[in-house]
Structure 1
Amino acid sequence: MKDFYCKSKEFLMEHFNTSSDGLKSKDLESLKEKYGENVLNSKEKKTAFKVFLEQFKDFLVIILLVAAAISFISGNKESTIVILAVITMNAILGTVQHMKAEESLESLKKMSSPRARVMRDGRKQEIDSSELLPGDIVLVEAGDVVPSDARVIESYSLMVNESSLTGESESVEKITDILEDGKLTVGDQKNMVFSGSLVTYGRGKLLVTAIGMDTELGKIASLLDNTEESATPLQKSLEKFGKKLSIAIIVLCVVVFFMSIARGINTLDSLMFAVALAVAAIPEALGSIVTIVLAIGTQKMAKENAIIKKLHSVESLGCVSVICSDKTGTLTQNKMTVKKIYVDGKIVESEKISLDNPLEKELLRSALLCSDAVNHDGQEIGDPTEVALVNVGHLHNLKEVKVREKYPRMEELPFDSERKLMSTTHEIDGKYYLITKGAPDVVIDRAKYIIKANGEYKEIETKDIEDIKKANIKLSESGLRVLAFAIKEIDRQEKINFDSENEFAIVGLIS
């Protein structure tokens, strides 16, 4: 059964013999025997010696080995040593490059989530993600990597980035509702999360439905394992060149051999002359020159953080003139940055924001307080949009940690796609405020005031609304995503709810 998104959580609990308290310890051994570990299988790795031997499979290398053998038989030991030295050097370079790439790929694998928080026997535990089993109840929050395929059974504004599977750079808001359609693609299964995706916002409780090679990521790994390797254009060209060259040399040597005999030279001397000609005609240095050039290419690619597993792939990449992709988040960094803000009727570049301007400072402070992302020593955790807000604060020496410590959050109304708003409450300078961020059209419709450059609260007029809408359109048409920020003074005793998100004072826009 794979259509877990069509089933209720009660049905799945019964199917996997689990509950909201998680699996029972007494069932773990039998489940491990049935399902195995939550790891991706991979082909048996080649040993360094095997990789070294495979370097001699090239047709041109075989010709050089034949030439070395002939040189040795004919007594030309210097040529034999030179040829063997060149071939061995090529093989060593190829082996070193392969093993370096393997190490780099292994280090990438270690970046995946090594631990998972689960409920077992009614207690919250932290276990190695490889020990997860179908039926486990997993707890996730912003910054976590989803350790397996799972059904969402509780969602608190849970948003997940699934670009590694779907190519969509936008985070997907997860729900707990049953989806009726029985033929949904991975991207449309909004009540499911998948191994390897990243939690960017909120938190949730998940019921594990598949592990290891049974996950969507495991299917991709299986396809990669079963893909046959094909020769690169350079390998094909060298093999074709080697065959043509060997045929030409053989024909030439045979002709020279018979011509020598025809001139009266004895058979042994004629043969030795033909062999010497064959050795001289073979380009012993070609292999080493190609290998050295390709090795230089891999080093340059390594500086650009590109891992090249096989030397000949460098030449293939060099032949690429156009790369076509239908998804922006797949090939780009999938990293958002604040480009412009709008305050008091003016659009300001993010680099030119001044903390000396009270309104611009208020906008930045609101952005940091009404968000959950953090940037700790370069490690960014949270929704990409909120990370962009945090980073613009860092750009102007306004750190989110210090701002949030100074004005701690008291209450919050999490973002949801219906309201298109998020609100938090804070004590600022002895007064209590509700800070809201959201879609500009929603915030404008609920606004009663607008804050001017001098900090004055002015009742919003039709012209103000038109100016904000024009700025929103202008920024949106430039390909920017726009958020509106507003603030509202509240009573200390007021318990906020969705009705509290009204009669704001608009601070400004961030795009």
Structure 2
Amino acid sequence: MSETFFNRSAQETLDELHTSPSGLSTAEAESRTKTFGPNKLSEGRKKSVAVVFLEQFKDLLVVILTIAAIISLLSGESESTIVIFAVLLLNAVLGTVQYVKAEKSLESLKAMSSPVARVIRDGARLEIPSQEVVPGDILLLEAGDLVVADGRILENFSLKVNESSLTGESESVDKTADAIPSEKVALGDQINMVFSGSLVTYGRATVVVTSTGMGTELGKIASLMNQTQQRKTPLQTSLDNFSKKLAVIILAVCVVVFMLSVFRSHMPVLDSLMFAVALAVAAIPEALSSIVTIVLAMGTQKMARQNAVIKDLKAVESLGAVSVICSDKTGTLTQNRMCPQKIYADGRLTSCEDYDLTNDAQRLLLKIALLASDATTDENAGTSIGDPTEVALVQIGDSFGIEESTYRSQHPRLRELPFDSDRKLMSTLHELEKVPTLLTKGALDVMLERSNWIYTTDGILPMTDEKRSEIINTNRSLSEEGLRVLAFAYRELPGVRDLSIEDENDFVFVGLISMIDPPRPESVQAVADAKRGGIRTVMITGDHKITATAIARQVGIFEDGDIAVEGVELDAMTDAELDEKLPRISVYARVSPEHKIRIVDAWQRQGRIVSMTGDGVNDAPALKKADIGVAMGITGTEVSKDAASMILTDDNFATIVKAVINGRNIYANIKNAIQFLLSGNTAGILCVLYASLMALPVPFAPVHLLFINLLTDSLPAIAIGMEPSRRGLLNQPPRNPKEPILNGSLLKRIVSQGLLIAVATMAAFYLGHQTGSAMLASTMAFATLTLARLFHGFNCRGDESIFRLKFGTNKYSLMAFFGGVLLLAAVLFIPGLNTLFLVAPLSMTQIGQIILLAFLPTLIIQIVKVITDRQHGSVVTGKATLSDD
């Protein structure tokens, strides 16, 4: 940008953009959208479909298959070569389709969590998607906002902006609305501009948008979410490492099989090599990584439908191991819909329904409440914009027919000191009856320290210890009812001037207004469900300890024997003292960002997986520190959303518990899919090893193994990955994150079930071999192994028997079974295909033997499960209470 751009007045900027402080008209905004396009940054260089398709052929499996195809071609088996290349092509097409679908899925998730912007158009304040912002829009910024476009500051109220995304400097920069000297421009000190991608950390400002999208200083820098797009999850990395180790073992087995085939079975070397390669293809669970990806993708889509947008796939895995949820109170456990309840003024406590505007103290209290607030409401549309606490204050005025915007125009704001969590106050300067008056609202403890006077109908009186005690006791009684209390005061100034925090002293105390944010009805059940699942819920809030404890007791977080502590008490504890008291502390009140990080760290020291919720700028460090950072999608700032790994689009605590259930279910489904794939592969390996050791003909042709491994295996495995959540998941303790996915019990099941299928397969082989036809024996073994693995898909749906799981609860498993049966039938009976897949004709008796032997392993496994169910009193199944779609 040129020097002259920065060294100009606000009016010159507006003139160049042909707009005004009242904002663009809707028609002009639409016209500029067509001219400038949507306000989007480049999302990086995406791979073309052709490149993605070609990348599918880089896999180790593809190399092995290609070798197998070449060997098959050299041995004169052109049919096998055709089958192998057809399978490779099909696999590449499916992989490409999956990539394209994943890209679309990511786009939809980005859209759900993309920022919104507050603008002025046609003189009205609106909230619009950030991509609809155009040059000339009047942008309203406040603490916590992500700047969505470059702009020139028109009005500045103590604005500080973090521009680390642009400059790399982590410290916030002070901004001004003044034109800057040319020598400052040379130094790059562009303090009268804000830039896209920067974060507002303090104050607020009015900005005219000068450029959007690719025209901004960030230009082609990718959006924040793109950083996680290509990253593999720990589970995928673990499975990839496991697959590599397994591949080495299997290749060693294949060498043994090759040697036995050549020297004991006297099979031709080329045929032996072809068979060994095919065995490697069959034994390596190459579908495992893609199935894990599919299951995770399905899980994230389900969570998105249930209002939990997953930004980082690692969160899906970690969710299943969460054992502590540190939850904010406002909007998460409560409705974030403050309703005015009681007021205290002139020494009297009354309900808001009995508000008396003829009382001077109560009238002044309402005046301060309306003027020292920024919220607006539209009674006709039933909508409101602003902080819920300030909305409740405006609602009091609405009940008397007082239009806040009209009232504020009669008493315009001359200066202000924005709310600050350290000061716990907000002050605005107005002229009331031609006297410059500072109106202040904030926390009672801070306000009382700064109040030397009290307003009554008898006049302004000195603040005595007796009056101070009366106010404190009133505040305590209101807080014990779970009410949030704000204090209001004023101070007359000698003239209109710039304000400083030193002005917030020597107040005249006016009164209190209390309001309630009622608990969400579903929060009580969600906290109970979390407790049943072995998950500890802790409330961390900036509210007063008494108020927080009252709400925590209502929702079931705080019980007899529990402790509530404030930030100052936490500061006084050593780490050892905190570790000792940690299990009994259920409520943390009046905490700072540093306290939140310390609380999370204390739980993590005890080996717990911690989820932390937050919505403000000051929550971001703790969200990053937690294993699962959860941001609020409705009330959350863009800073908190950027720091989090999951965003709640409904700001509801119950959604976190749903996500935990889904996380546990996804992990269980992945384990079950692994059990299915590896037990089936084990059966194939055992059959080949047995035949080689006994000098029998090979039980399977290479095309048989390819058919089983690449077609009939994938369908049941994906269906297993889509098994619905069940209530039993909440009756189990959280998963130990250090436990390997292939633990001892899973390995035992894989080997034992694989052995059962292998025995049934070799029994079919012997029945066919009795006729003297090696081809018939191979056909019966192939058909039995394929069908047995299709039946086995039902065994791997869960730990309970199929009678408890019910056939109809997972329609995909039925579809996968019948799809696999149809594919097998096509290979066995359709002329041309039976020749291509080297299968012999089967009699009805032999078909019956195949079906019986294939079903026998599943029958045995199900009998064992039924006995186990009865012995252990298996839990009631069905969809989990909180995870229904």
Taking structure 1 as the reference length, the TM-score comes to: 0.57
Shift of 1:101: 0.9
1:506 to 498, 503, 510: 510
Q: What is the match of residue 106 of structure 2?
A: 101
Contact 1:355-1:361 at 8 Å conserved across structures: no
Instruction: Encode CA deviations 1:89-133: one digit per residue, 9 max, x unaligned.
Output: 56534431222212443576685689999xxxxxxxxxx98875x
Q: What is the match of residue 417 of structure 1?
A: 417
Q: How do residues 108-507 of structure 1 correspond to structure 2 at under 5 angstroms?
A: 111=116, 132=135, 139-141=138-140, 148-150=149-151, 152=153, 154-155=154-155, 157=157, 176=178, 191-195=192-196, 204=206, 217-218=218-219, 221=222, 231-263=232-264, 265-267=266-268, 270-271=272-273, 273-283=275-285, 286-287=288-289, 289-302=291-304, 303-308=306-311, 343=344, 354-358=351-355, 366-375=368-377, 381-382=385-386, 387-393=387-393, 399=398, 402-404=401-403, 408-409=407-408, 410-417=410-417, 421-422=427-428, 436-438=439-441, 448-451=453-456, 459-463=461-465, 466-467=468-469, 484-486=487-489, 506-507=510-511
Shift of 1:13: 2.5
Instruction: Encode CA deviations 1:307-366: one digit per residue, 9 max, x unaligned.
Output: 458xx656666699799xxxx9xxx99x99869987369999xxxx94235379865675
SS of structure 2 residue aligned to 1:252:
helix
Q: What is the match of residue 840 of structure 2?
A: none
Amino acid paired to 2:455? I
Shift of 1:160: 7.3
1:13 to 8, 20, 43: 8
The count of residues paired between Structure 1 and Structure 2 equals 439
Equivalent-residue separation in structure 1 for 2:6 and 2:222 (angstroms): 30
Amino acid paired to 2:260? M
Contact 2:450-2:507 at 8 Å conserved across structures: no
SS of structure 2 residue aligned to 1:13:
coil
Equivalent-residue separation in structure 1 for 2:297 and 2:205 (angstroms): 46
Instruction: Encode CA deviations 1:220-252: one digit per residue, 9 max, x unaligned.
Output: 649998999554434433443343333333333
Shift of 1:23: 3.1
Equivalent-residue separation in structure 1 for 2:278 and 2:140 (angstroms): 73
Shift of 1:265: 1.7
Equivalent-residue separation in structure 2 for 1:219 and 1:471 (angstroms): 58
Contact 1:486-1:506 at 8 Å conserved across structures: yes
Instruction: Encode CA deviations 1:368-395: one digit per residue, 9 max, x unaligned.
Output: 454232255687645xxxx23333358x
Equivalent-residue separation in structure 2 for 1:47 and 1:162 (angstroms): 36
Change (3 A) 1:449 1:216: same
Amino acid paired to 1:450? Y
Amino acid paired to 1:256? V
RMSD: 6.6
Amino acid paired to 1:404? E
Contact 2:119-2:139 at 8 Å conserved across structures: no
Taking structure 2 as the reference length, the TM-score comes to: 0.37
Change (3 A) 1:442 1:12: farther
Shift of 1:263: 2.2
Instruction: Encode CA deviations 1:420-439: one digit per residue, 9 max, x unaligned.
Output: 63256899xxxxxx893346
Amino acid paired to 2:7? L
Which ranges in structure 2 are unaligned for 5 or more consecutive residues?
Answer: 19-35, 123-130, 419-424, 515-542, 544-885
Amino acid paired to 2:309? A
Change (3 A) 1:171 1:322: farther
Shift of 1:266: 3.4
Equivalent-residue separation in structure 2 for 1:300 and 1:163 (angstroms): 36
Which ranges in structure 1 are unaligned for 5 or more consecutive residues?
Answer: 26-35, 118-127, 428-433, 491-495
Contact 1:68-1:84 at 8 Å conserved across structures: no
Change (3 A) 1:241 1:483: same
Shift of 1:506: 0.6
1:92 aligns with 2:94: no
2:16 to 19, 23, 38: 23
SS of structure 1 residue aligned to 2:41:
coil
Amino acid paired to 2:155? S
Equivalent-residue separation in structure 1 for 2:468 and 2:173 (angstroms): 31
